[in-house]
Amino acid sequence: IAELGVMMMTTILVTIVMLLIWQINIIIVLSFVVILLGLELIFFSSVLWSVGDGSWIILVFAVVLFFIMYIWNYGSKLKYETEVKQKMSMDLLRELGPNLGTIRAPGIGLLYNELAKGIPAIFGHFLTTLPAVHSMIIFVCIKYIPVPVVPQNERFLFCRVCPRGYHIFRCIASRNSWNDRYGYKDVRKENQQAFEQLLIESLEKFIRRDAQERSLESDGNDESDSEEEQAFSRVLVAPNGSVYSLGVPLLSDFKDTGKAVVEESISEELKPGPSSESLLSDAEQSFEKELSFLRKAKESGVVYLLGHGNIRARKSSWFIKKLFINYFYAFLRKNCRREIANLSVPHSHLMQVGMTYMV
């Protein structure tokens, strides 16, 4: 039945091509349809007589497989749309760290999620669950593209998610998305150290290229950028001298914060306007500081942050939706292979947080 269905569909599509593209005479097209489609319908009717003799089992298997694929596609699409709707805004991220007392610990955190744009809501769940986050955060999204092999130098592209003081990056693969790209013939299971080394090297290239672009555009914009970063980096100083902010990379860099802020404000009032040479030197210094900060974070270690998002149907949803999402789709997700199996990362470098979305 499946083969005859494919044959009949091919005949119909060829007929459409003959009419719209080739623009063949209508008499020839009708003759083609009547002869071929008539023969195929005769064969199809003969096959239908054998359904009662045992061919119905194949049809049942086809219906079951179609049902499984439909539920998986429906649940995955609903989960992705919910994550897109509930992604965090930049203003909320800037205010969430100081309000929760979040501190930045040395190290690099690789947060895996499926979003190609925006800040995932699971990152806010990390902030509300953990007392500290890593000094450098990289959002990583794995996508498989329909090419045989992706070159190593094109596998990672980066962009900044927040101002430079936040040290939060996104790994991008195209103009508006960030991915860790693989071709369908690439080996999925890579060595952890080789993966981290390639990612760090790509990030260093991005920082170097970004510094070059900033130096070329240093016509007074650096001052506005620094003021913007300073305005975005809200800092709370506790009575014991602790500093809480997402904009603070490491606590050791911000000792005597109150005195530093006062001295900086006084010096800014007294010093004259910066020249172009000083702006270039400041850009080079910030570039070297960021590279050294990246190397120190790499020496402190890399931790893989995995967010497992589950979906549940709301109480006001239809019974069919509750049945599909809460039972069938949940059963498929529990019995599917998780991403951890493809990462080959030691359990000591893994950190997992679960989150439930109501759809």
- pLDDT of 88 strictly over 50: yes
Question: 67-81, 171-185, 323-337: which range is least confident on average?
Answer: 171-185
Closest listed residue to residue 353, CA positions, set 8, 112, 68: 112
pLDDT of residue 258: 41
pLDDT of residue 35: 92
Instruction: Provide, for the chain, the percentages of residues in helix, strand and coil under a 3-state DSSP scheme, each rounded to the nearest 5.
Output: 55, 15, 25
The residue ranking higher by pLDDT, 316 or 126, is 316
pLDDT of residue 322: 92
pLDDT digits (tens, 9 = 90+) for 56-74: 787 888 889 999 999 999 9
- pLDDT of 251 strictly over 90: no
Assigned token pair, 266? 């006084």
Question: Model's pTM, two decimal places?
Answer: 0.67
Q: What is the mean pLDDT of the chain?
A: 75
Is residue 112 a contact partner of residue 103, using CB atoms and an 8 Å limit?
no
pLDDT of residue 318: 92
Q: Tell me the average pLDDT across 294-309.
A: 86
Q: How far apart are CA 200 and CA 198, in angstroms?
A: 6
- pLDDT of 287 strictly over 90: no
86 backbone dihedrals φ, ψ, rounded to 5°: -100, 15
166 backbone dihedrals φ, ψ, rounded to 5°: -80, -25
- pLDDT of 298 strictly over 70: yes
- pLDDT of 279 strictly over 60: no
Question: What are the start-end ranges of the H helices in 301-339?
Answer: 319-322, 330-334
Q: Tell me the average pLDDT across 150-170.
A: 79
CB atoms within 10 A of CB 165: 16
pLDDT of residue 338: 62
- pLDDT of 311 strictly over 70: yes
Closest listed residue to residue 142, CA positions, set 123, 115, 176, 121: 115
pLDDT of residue 348: 79
Mention every residue, 6+ apart, whose C-beta is less than 8 A from residue 223. 274, 279
DSSP-assigned letters across all residues of 104-140 = EEEEEEEEE-S-SSSB-HHHHHHHHH-SEEEEEEEEE
pLDDT of residue 284: 75
Is residue 189 a contact partner of residue 159, using CB atoms and an 8 Å limit?
no
- Integer angstrom CA distances of residue 162 from 14, 137, 188, 246: 53, 11, 30, 10
Q: Helix (H, G, I), strand (E, B), or coil: what is residue 50?
A: coil
Radius of gyration of the chain (CA): 29
Closest listed residue to residue 280, CA positions, set 210, 207, 211, 226: 211
- pLDDT of 147 strictly over 50: yes
